[in-house]
Amino acid sequence: MTKNKNNQAIWGSRVRSNTSSIFQKVGNSIDIDKRLYKEDIKGSIAHVEMLFKQKIISFKIKNKIIYGLNKIEKEISKKKFEFNKKYEDIHINIEKRLFQIIGEEAGYIHTARSRNDQVITDLKIWMKSSSQEINIVIDKLIKSSLKLAEKNIDTIMPGFTHLKNAQAISFAHYLMAYVEMFERDKRRFRNSLESLNENPLGVAALTGTSFNIDRNYTSKKLGFKRPTNNSIDTVSDRDFVLDFLFNVSICAMHISRIAEELIIWNSDGFNLINLSDKIVTGSSIMPQKKNPDLLEFLRGKSGIAYGNLFSMLTILKGLPLSYFKDLQDDKEIIFKSYDNIIDCLKILDEVLKNIYPNKKKMLELAKSGFITSTDLADYLVKNYSIPFRKAYQKTIDIINLAEKKKKRLDQLTLVELKSIDPKLTNDVLKIFDLKNSVNSKKSYGGTSFDNIKKMIMKYKKQK
Ligand code: ARG
């Protein structure tokens, strides 16, 4: 049954004829899951150590298996391992090779486990370190954002709502908004470690096992906090995959928002930022062009991230318990989402190091659109003890006057202002100063220079 010749199944099977050749070609997952070889070997070593501790296998067999597994790990890392599609996945490829190296006794390795628990053990170990890896890359991006913010505390620009000038802000305050988002992205990945910290190993196919195994022992060995509680749930569960894909999607969405904003600001219509040649591409026909392709790449990739999340949600919808082949695709989806988000985070980091705000243009744009109107209404409330709604109405009258005279608010004379409200004095003119406007927003979280400096310091200290 367990003949140890090349290209021969390592277990006897009731399946008599060869599986359909087209399925042999497409039904295997080795090209994808070979990425889990280290985790698979780590899991197997912990498993056989536990089997020995529980007196299920002998000391000699345990050592032989571990010797073989270490040898296989070296072969794979040195690219001397021949992966075979016929053996479906990484688990069987490794087990098959173990037979070649140590012979029949390799067969003890699969005592009290199944590929069903093995594969998610591998995947959870991989996802734990990958989530941490993502957070390290997000941290680098946050550092670059802080650096750019620090240089632009007094860079004044319009803050937009509906893409119309709303109120003046500091460019640094805008950047710090993304720092908040990326910090939350990190927290999301961190929070998801909770379910990744439950060890699936030992639930076997779906029922648990009659062998006297110690799942706490393998949990500890593999860096999990505790074993999972229910064997059926364990082999069926891919919630943790969805959490990861969702976390990636949100992070990709944040990236796409800043990308889109920078694309708009770089457009000839806005001209608020310049991009260095490192982050633009030319056109094959229009010689003058410098296109923000990297930013467009970032904006587009959020679509891929969402697609991956929806692929997995759809695979799981209506799937009965417990394991089905449908679940095999989870890894391809996860790996794609991971590679994608790492690339996007690194590209955005590079973008932030290569953008230059056009400070003059930002200030100029901030002067238009009656941007200090809210400041004026607030001033009237504070100085003339009138309700905000009344001040709002009076401000509208002043804006209408300015519009009629084709002037900005700061170009109105005191005489003109007094024609709307005779009580107004020279003092009101300071309200139209943009720096003053930005700096007056001292409420916690507002755009005042001091607030921004404090926030930058707070996050810099954490890095
Ligand atoms: N390659 C399989 C997967 O990724 C491993 C689990 C196989 N289990 C099974 N009962 N066929 O899902």
| Structural domains in the chain, sorted by start | 21-111 (1.10.275.10), 116-211+229-365 (1.20.200.10), 367-462 (1.10.40.30)
What's the rounded Cα separation, in Å, for the pair 363 and 265?
A: 13
Is 103 in a helix, a strand, or coil? helix
For ligand 1, what atom is nearest to the CA of residue 88? 1
The verdict on the CB of residue 322 being under 6 Å from ligand 1 is no
Report whether 371 contacts 410 (CB < 8 A).
no
List pLDDT tens digits, range 238-296. Answer: 999 999 999 999 999 999 999 999 999 999 999 999 999 898 888 788 788 788 999 99
426: tokens are 């020279």
The tokens describing 361, both together, are 């243009």
Instruction: State the pairing for strand pair 355-357/156-161.
Output: unpaired
Q: What is the Cα gyration radius of the chain?
A: 31
Q: What is the CA(439)–ligand 1 centre distance, in A? A: 60
How far apart CA 246 and CA 309 sit, in angstroms, is 6
What do you get for the CA distance between the two ends of the chain, in Å? 58
Q: How far is the C-alpha of 151 from the C-alpha of 149, rounded, in Å? A: 5
How many C-beta atoms surround the C-beta of residue 394 within 10 A?
18
Backbone angles phi, psi at 274, to 5 degrees: -105, 145
For the chain, give the mean pLDDT. 95
pLDDT digits (tens, 9 = 90+) for 34-91: 999 999 999 999 999 999 999 999 999 999 999 999 999 999 999 999 999 999 999 9
E strands, 225-281, in order? 226-227, 273-275
Give 362-366 contacts, CB < 8 A, sequence gap 24+: 362/155, 362/156, 362/157, 362/158, 362/171, 362/272, 363/156, 363/157, 363/434, 365/157, 365/158, 365/165, 365/270, 365/272, 366/156, 366/157, 366/158, 366/165, 366/168, 366/434
Give the span between the Cα atoms of 118 and 203, in whole angstroms.
Answer: 9
Specify the DSSP class assigned to residue 318.
Answer: T
CA angle 349, 361, 274 (to 5 degrees): 30
326 CB neighbour count, 10 Å cutoff:
12
Q: Please work out whether the CB of residue 113 comes within 6 Å of at least one atom of ligand 1.
A: no
- Ligand 1 neighbourhood includes 266 CB (under 6 angstroms): no
Give, using CA atoms, the residue closest to atom 1 of ligand 1: 89
Q: What is the pLDDT of residue 151?
A: 97
* Nearest CA among 220, 170, 174, 169 for reference residue 199: 220
* Structure-token pair, residue 434: 């943009």
Q: What is the mean pLDDT of each run of 10 residues along the chain (463 residues)?
A: 47 74 85 97 98 98 98 98 94 97 97 97 98 98 98 97 95 98 98 96 98 98 98 97 98 98 96 92 82 94 98 98 96 98 98 96 96 96 95 96 96 96 95 96 97 96 85
- Distance (angstroms) between ligand 1 centre and the Cα of 326 equals 9
Whether 283 sits among the annotated catalytic residues: the reply is: yes
- Ligand 1 contacts CB of residue 29 (under 6 A): yes
Catalytic residue among 13, 17, 162, 284: 162
Residue 116, ligand 1, Cβ within 6 A: yes
Quick one: pLDDT at residue 12? Answer: 67
What pLDDT, on a 0 to 100 scale, did the predictor assign at position 10? 58
Query: Three-state DSSP class for 180?
Result: helix
Cα separation of 318 and 96, whole Å? 34
Q: Which residues of 108-129 are buried (b: 16+ CB within 10 A; e: fewer)?
A: bbbbbbbbbbbbbbbbbbbbbe
pLDDT value of residue 6: 45
Q: What is the pLDDT of residue 7?
A: 45
